[in-house]
A and B are shown apart, each in its own frame.
Chain A
Amino acid sequence: MSRHAVRLGGRSIAAIVSTTAIGIVAFGWPLLASPESTAVAHADDAPWLFVVVIPLLLAVVLAQFTDGGMDAKAVALLGVLAAVVAAMRPLGGGTAGLEPIWVILVLGGRALGPGFGFSLGAVALFSSALLTGGVGPWLPFQMLGAAWVGLGAGLLPRATGRAEIVLLAAYGAVAAFAYGLLMNLWFWPFTEGLPAAIAFSPGAPLSENLVAWLHFTIVTSLGYDIPRAVLTVVLIALAGPTILSALRRASRRANFGAVPVFVTEAQ
C-alpha cells in the first residue's frame, strides 16, 4: 500500500468529524428536527442557513488539509483528477442520472486515501460547477455529498484482487444511490405546498415525514438514482482494476511523503 496523498492530523480529523456531524443535520433536519425546535419554526429559512454554513465548513476542512498535510503533489493530483471529473460530467449529459463521475471519486478515494477522497469530491464538483456556470444553492450540498463518497471509499476495509473490486462496486452502488437520496433531502423543504403525501410538513412526526420523503423520492428521482447506481457498478466492475492500478502507479510515482535521506560521509 502506498502512503496516503493527504495526511490527516488530529485537527483535520476533528474538522471532518464536526463537518460530518453538522452536515447530517443540514441534510437530515426535515426528518430529525424535533417539532418544537427552532429549525422547524423557521422552516423557510433553515435550508438557506445551511447553504451558508456548509461552504464555510468545507472551507475550514480543506484549509486545514492544506495547512501541513497536503504538498504540491497532492494539490496537483487533486487538480488533475478534478479536471477529469469535470470533463466527464457532461458525458452523461444529465440523461437519466448516467453520471460516470462516481467511478473516479470512489476509486480515487480508495487508491489515495480518505483525506484525498474527501477533497476530491468537494473540489471536483466545485470545479465542474465553475466550468459550466452551475453555481447555486445546491452546490454546497453536492460538494459535501461527493466529499463523503470519496471519504467513505478511503475508509473501506482492506481487500485485494477480486474481493476489492466487489467491495468497491457494492460501495459504489450504495454511495451513488445514497447521494441521490441526500440530494432529494436538501431541497425537499422547498416542496412545502405540494400534496401532503409527498411534501415536507414541518413539525410532523418522523414516521410521517419519512414516508412522505420516500414517496417523494419514488415520484421524482428514482428514475435517476437507480441508473446512476447501476452505471457505477458496471463501470467499477469493468474498468475498476485498470483505473485502480493506474491511480496506484501514479501514487507510487508521486511518492507521497517521500523521505529524503542524506549521507554526509561518502559511501
Chain B
Amino acid sequence: MRPPLSVGAVGQPRWLHPGAWWVWALGLATAASRTLNPLLLLVIIGVAAVVVSARRPDAPWARSFAFFVRLGILIIVLRVLVQLVLGAAIGTTTLISLPGIGLPDWMAGVRLGGPVTLESLLMALYDGLRLATIIICIGAANSLASPSRLLKSVPAALYEIGVSVVVALTFAPQLVADVTRVQAARHLRGRATRGPRAIAGAAMPVLEGALERSVTLAAAMDSRGYGRRSDTSARRRRAIAAVLLAGLVAACIGTYGLVAAGSTAALSGLMLLAGMSLSIGAIVWSARTAIRTRYRPDPWWLPEWLVAGSGIAVAVCCIATSWWFPAGMETPFDPPTWPSLPLLATLGLAIALTPAITAPPIPVPFVSAAMRAPDAVEVPA
C-alpha cells in the first residue's frame, strides 16, 4: 500500500477519483453562485472548458459537456426573452419600445411588451449567465467523472443499490440491441418494423426477455455470495433502529423549523444536521455487518487532493471576496458599468485551472465500459 499522499508515478495515465472531479466542479459552481459579475462568470466557464478539454475521456457520457453548454445558452436566451416580453423596465436607457399588450384580469400584473431598457436587459443577462455557469460547471463534472467509477466509490451501506445501478448501466445498451433484434424478427413475420406500432410490438418480447434475465442474474448473484452478512444481535438491531428513528424525527423537526415562523435558523439547522448525521450513522453502522470488500478501489492520492483542493480554493476565494469586497462580485447595471476582475477571486480561478495539469492523463486507448456497443454488431436474426 502506498502512503495516502503518494503521487503515483508522475504523468502515468490513470483515472482520477471521480469524487475529486465532483468536488472541483461543485467548488466552481459555488464560486459562480456567489457572483453576478459577467466577466468573472465567463472566466469560470472558460476554466471549466479548458479543464474538460484537457482531461475528458472519449466516452458517450463524456460528450454531455456540449449539451450542458447548449442548455446554458438556452437558459440565458430564455431569461433575456422573458425579460424582453414580460419584464418590468428598470432604469432609463430605453433601447427600443415594443408595442404593449394588456392581458386579461386573471393574469393580473402581466404586461407584454413596452419599453425595453438596457438596464433590465443587462440584469436578465447577468442573472441568466449565473445560472448557466452553474449548469456548465455541473456539465464539466458529468463529462470528467466516470459514472461507473463513481459507483465503485459508493459507501458500503449503498452497495446493493449500487449493484442494481451497475446492472442497469450495463444492461440498458444491451436492451437497445435487443430491440433491434426483435424488430428484425418482426420483419420475419411480415410485420411493420417502423412506427409506434412496431416499437410497441417489439417492446413486449424485449421486456419479457429482460424480466427472465433478472431471475437468472439473481440466481447467479446468490450463488456467488451476494448478500452475505455476519450475524447481528437483536439488541444491536434494536439500537440501530432507535438511532435511525431518532435521526429521522430530528431531521423532520429541523426541516419544519426552517419553514415555520418563530424558530431560529441556528436551532433548526442544527436539528436538521444532527438528524441527518444520526440517520446516516445508523445506516453506516448497520452496513458494517456486511463482510464485503472492494476490488481495486480508486485511490485518493496527491492528484486527487490537488484537484479537489483547487475546487475548494476557488469557492473559498469567491466567498471571501463577496464577504469583504462585495463590490467586485456584483456588477451594477443601473447605471451600467464595466465589470472588473477582483484580485482574490481571479487568483482562486487561476488555482481552479491547475487540474488541467495536475490531474493524471486519461488511459489510452479508452473504451467506455458502460455504453460501448459491441463493435460490428452482427444482429443474429
Contact = CB atoms under 8 A, between A and B. Distances in A.
- Asked whether any CB of A lies within 8 Å of a CB of B in the complex, the reply is yes
Interface of A: 10-11, 14-15, 18-19, 21-22, 25-26, 29, 32-42, 46, 48-49, 53, 56-57, 59-60, 62-64, 66-67, 70-73, 75-84, 86-87, 91, 119, 123-124, 126-128, 130-137, 190, 193-198, 215, 238-239, 242-243, 246-247, 249-250, 253-254
A81 B263 contact: no
18 contacts: A14-B244, A14-B245, A18-B249, A21-B256, A38-B265, A42-B265, A48-B33, A53-B276, A56-B276, A67-B157, A72-B221, A76-B164, A76-B214, A84-B172, A123-B165, A135-B141, A196-B88, A215-B110
A62 B279 CA distance: 12
A14 B245 CA distance: 7
A127 B61 contact: no
Contact of A34 (B134, B176, B245, B260): B260
Contact of A238 (B60, B200, B227, B255): B200
Contact of A38 (B131, B159, B268): B268
Contacts of B308: none
Contact of B64 (A38, A39, A132): A132
A15 B214 contact: no
Contacts of B350: none
- Which has the most chain B C-beta neighbours within 10 Å: A41, A59, A70? A59
Contact of A22 (B110, B168, B171, B255): B255
B64 A130 contact: no
B244 A254 contact: no
A130 B123 CA distance: 34
Contacts of A126: 165
A137 B161 contact: no
Contacts of A63: 157-158, 161, 283, 286-287
B176 A11 contact: no
Given A66-B160, A67-B287, 18 more contacts: A11-B245, A33-B258, A37-B260, A38-B268, A40-B259, A41-B265, A60-B283, A75-B221, A78-B168, A80-B213, A86-B169, A87-B173, A87-B179, A124-B168, A126-B165, A135-B141, A196-B88, A197-B110
Contact of B210 (A48, A81, A190, A239): A81
A42 B111 CA distance: 29
Nearest to A46: B258
B107 A197 contact: yes
B235 to A, nearest CB: 15
B161 A86 contact: no
A239 B87 CA distance: 46
A130 B61 contact: yes
A73 B110 contact: no
Nearest to B262: A36
B74 interface: no
Given A15-B244, A35-B261, A123-B161, A72 B222 contact: yes
B163 A75 contact: yes
A120 B227 CA distance: 19
B375 interface: no
Given A132-B64, A194-B87, A127 B169 contact: yes
Q: Tell me the interface secondary structure of chain A in the complex.
A: helix
Interface stretch (B4-12, B37-45, B201-209, B359-367): B201-209
Nearest to B134: A137
Contacts of B171: 79-80, 83
A39 B254 CA distance: 11
Interface of B: 33, 60-65, 67, 82-83, 86-88, 107-111, 123-124, 127, 131, 134-135, 138-139, 141-143, 147, 150-151, 157-161, 163-176, 179, 199-200, 203-204, 207-208, 210-215, 217-219, 221-222, 226-227, 241, 244-245, 248-249, 251-252, 255-265, 268-269, 272, 276, 279-280, 283, 286-287, 370-371
A210 to B, nearest CB: 13
A234 to B, nearest CB: 10
A133 B143 contact: yes
A123 B218 contact: no
Contacts of A123: 161, 164-165, 168
Given A33-B259, A195-B86, A254 B215 contact: yes
A4 to B, nearest CB: 16
A194 B110 contact: no
Contact of A254 (B200, B214, B245): B214
Q: Which 5 A/B pairs are nearest by Cβ-Cβ distance?
A: A79-B167, A133-B64, A66-B160, A34-B261, A250-B211
B372 to A, nearest CB: 12
A49 B150 CA distance: 22
A196 B286 CA distance: 49
A183 B226 CA distance: 37
B287 A190 contact: no
A91 to B, nearest CB: 7
Most buried by A among B87, B226, B260: B260
Given A133-B63, A194-B86, A18 B127 contact: no
B199 to A, nearest CB: 7
Contact of A25 (B86, B218, B255): B255
